[in-house]
Structure formats: C-alpha cells, structure tokens
Amino acid sequence: MKLEHWGSLIGLVREKRPLIHCITNYVTARDTANAILACGGSPVMADQPEEVKEVTGISDCLLLNTGTPNKHSKTAMKKAGREANRLHHPVILDPVGIGVSAYRMDLILEVLKNVKITVIRGNASEIRILLNILTDVTSKSNQPPSHGVDASPEDQITGDNITGLVETAKALSAMTGAVTVITGITDIVSTGSETRLIKNGCSEMAQITGSGCMLDGVIASYVAAVQDFSSSDTGQSGLLKAVSLATAVYGLCGERAAQKTKESQGGTGSFHQFFMDEISRCGESDLKGGLNIEIS
C-alpha cells in the first residue's frame, strides 16, 4: 500500500472485518466491543484460561487490557499471547492502572516477559511507570504516584514535557520491540527509530470512561487489517502508519463529536453517542484536511 493511499485502510478494515480477541476489563468491555464494530472489526471477549488459546486461534488479533484483573488474568493472557505469537498475530497491550498496585505491575511484567507485543498503548503515567520499572525493577517503591487509571496531573502532555515523553516512548519501543503509543493532548506514536505526533483529539475524550480502551480496539482492528505488519523494516514502518492512522482518525472522530455536542448543548452522554456515531460513519473521504500527524 502506498502512502498516498493509506487512508484506504479505513475501508480495508470494514472489508476484512478482522476478529479481535479481547481479554479485557468488565468496565469498558461493552464500549470496546462497540468501537471495534464501529470501525469495521468484529470483537470476541473470552478470558478463561481454558478457552483463550482456541479463541486466539480463530481470531486475527489479540487485545490484552489489565483493567479489573483477576486471579486467572495472568494465565489467560500468557496462554493467549503465546498462541498469538506462534500464529504471528499482532498483540496489543494496554497496561491499565500499572501504577495502582504491585499486583497489576507483576501481571504486566509477566505478560511482557512471555509475549512479544506489537503495540503498547497507555497514558503518559502508565508508559512512564512501565519504562521506569523495566529500566530498574528494584525502583518500584520510588515511583511517583499515579492518579488511579488516569494520567497524573504532572504527566499531562504539554508543550513543556513533550520532548521527554517522546524519549520515553522511543526507549520503551527500543526495549520491547513494540510500537509505543502515549495518548494525551498530543498523542505520540513511536517505533523507536521513527516517531509521529498526533494532534487530533479533544479534552472531552478524557471525560468518559473507556476512551483509551476503545482506541485499543480501533488500533487492533487497523493493525489486523494490515497484512505485512510482521515483515521486518517494512513491517515496522507499515505498523507505524496503521497505528498513527488509527489514532488520528479516532481523535478526529472525537473532535467532530465534541463539535456536535457543543452545538446541541450536550454533555458527556451526548458526546459518547456522537463519538460512536463518528467512528461508525467515518470513511476515507471524511479525512480530507482533518488529520494532523507530524513527523517528530
């Protein structure tokens, strides 16, 4: 696929209807499923160790999300992850709430130790904490605090700290081999060697639960629809494009939903509805002039 036709990936997702196996939390499972359906994929949620290998086997992509983990999460994620790796399926990891407990941190480190991850997506606090842990596993007790599952105020992406966060994303990609996505006011997508800054999106997205999880689902669908994701350099470059496009399209849908919300004097309920509307209606022709992706 040539760069100038990259927008056609939107149609390709709807055509291929990739099946996304989600091992995720019970708070945002519904919204994640609806976001996957809205962008053209097909979701299947299954998290019991006894069935995840088979479900991964019939799917096109695996999405691991550590919100509301339970005692079976570690086994289920490792079993599914190894099977996805064996089949060369992409694996998306969202380390939700890595800073809230040693239990989640341990779960995420175990997953990373056993599964090759294709894309890691989190907010600035989550990605920063993950990198710190990987760099020096003993420093856990010295971590700056996290604000639950949201980014800490000091981690809000601004003009001042963007350079540092780009370095964080690059370093995590270099260590893990995954494309790293840090979402915030500006989104950062990096393969380690190449980085994109995405300035689509709006503040309303942080006011509904699950906007990160929904993006995971959209990224998973786009990545699954790209055939060549695993093939060496071209693969990483194609992956960077697919993830950047997914993130930018998602942000653009958010912007348009925010505009509609304002026009109808609505709040977060209306925003949520309009956001899903935009994701489900977005086609290649809707992108013209809207995407805001910069090379860093």
Contacting positions for a copy of itself (CB under 8 A): 17, 19, 21, 25-31, 33-34, 37-38, 42-48, 50-51, 54-55, 58-59, 67-72, 97, 100-104, 145-150, 207-210, 266-270, 272-281
- In the bound state with a copy of itself, the residue whose beta carbon lies nearer, of 17 and 82, is 17
Q: How far apart are CA 244 and CA 227, in angstroms?
A: 16
219 in Cβ contact with 61 (< 8 Å): no
Question: Least distance in Å: CB of 294 to a copy of itself?
Answer: 28
Distances from the Cα of 50 to the Cαs of 36, 54, 80, 132, in angstroms?
24, 9, 10, 33
Token match 């509805």: residue? 273
The smaller minimum CB distance to a copy of itself, of residues 24 and 173, is found at: 24
Query: Which of 29, 179 has the CB closer to a copy of itself?
Result: 29
Residue 51 CB contacts under 8 Å (≥ 6 apart), including other chains: none
Least CB distance from residue 119 to a copy of itself, whole Å? 21
Nearest distance in Å: CB 120, a copy of itself: 20
Under a CB-based contact definition with an 8 Å cutoff, are residues 244 and 189 in contact? yes
- Residue identified by tokens 């915030």 is 184
Query: Smallest distance, Å, CB 27 to a copy of itself?
Result: 5
Least Å distance, CB 212 to a copy of itself, is: 12
Is 234 or 268 the residue whose CB approaches a copy of itself more closely?
Answer: 268
In 76-169, beta strands by DSSP E? 91-94, 119-123
Helix (H/G/I), strand (E/B), else coil: 65: strand
Residue with Cβ nearer a copy of itself (59 or 244): 59
CA-angle at 164, arms to 160 and 170, nearest 5°? 145
Nearer CB in complex with a copy of itself: 27/293:
27
The CB-of-94 to a copy of itself minimum distance in angstroms stands at 15
Which 3 state secondary structure label does DSSP give 224?
helix
Q: How far apart are the first and last CA of the chain?
A: 23
